Amino acid sequence: MKLVVDSNVMFSFFKKDSTPKELILDPELKYNLELFAPELMLNEIGRHKDDICSKFNISPKDFDIMFSSLPLFIKIVKKNSFNEFLSKAEEILSLHTKDVPYAALSLSLKSRGYDIGLWSNEERLKILKKYGIKVFSTSELAKELGL
């Protein structure tokens, strides 16, 4: 299953026993899940380092270790790879511009023939179903994967 993963889901990756962390690190799912994210996700997570460390009670060193491991599990995609879909994503998500890069990347991958989904807990992104992109919350994804 190919999924674009949004930053809100990835914030939970830093929580000790979170479902996103379990799904991403599960060795049996490693070959069933192919995750993608726009490069800006790393910037967004990095900007919130102090908040993440405080909220999930982890040290800055542990954060840095986990943060540096993210590209091992998620294919980080540069903005120029999905630029042509930004205006369409802006049109679809006119009131929620922070989610535009995730929608644009999803639309770009869909246009390349991938059966692509979006892993996000943002209910408003369900509108992407109209464009052939299934949106999974974390609980929906766990259920889909039989967990």
Tokens coding 11: 């914030």
- For the ranges 2-6, 24-28, 104-108, the lowest mean pLDDT is seen at 24-28
Which helix (DSSP H) or strand (DSSP E) does residue 9 occupy?
Answer: helix 7-11
Containing 2, the helix (H) or strand (E) segment is strand 2-5
Instruction: Tell me what pLDDT residue 30 has.
Output: 62
Read off the pLDDT of residues 111-131 as tens digits, 9 standing for 90 and up: 999 899 999 998 889 999 999
**What pLDDT is attached to residue 27?**
73
What is the model's pTM?
A: 0.91
pLDDT for res 26? 80
Burial 83-96 (b: 16+ CB within 10 A, else e): eebbebbeebbeee
Instruction: Report the C-alpha gap between 97 and 144 in whole angstroms.
Output: 28
Note the pLDDT tens digit of each residue in 51-70: 999 999 999 999 999 999 99
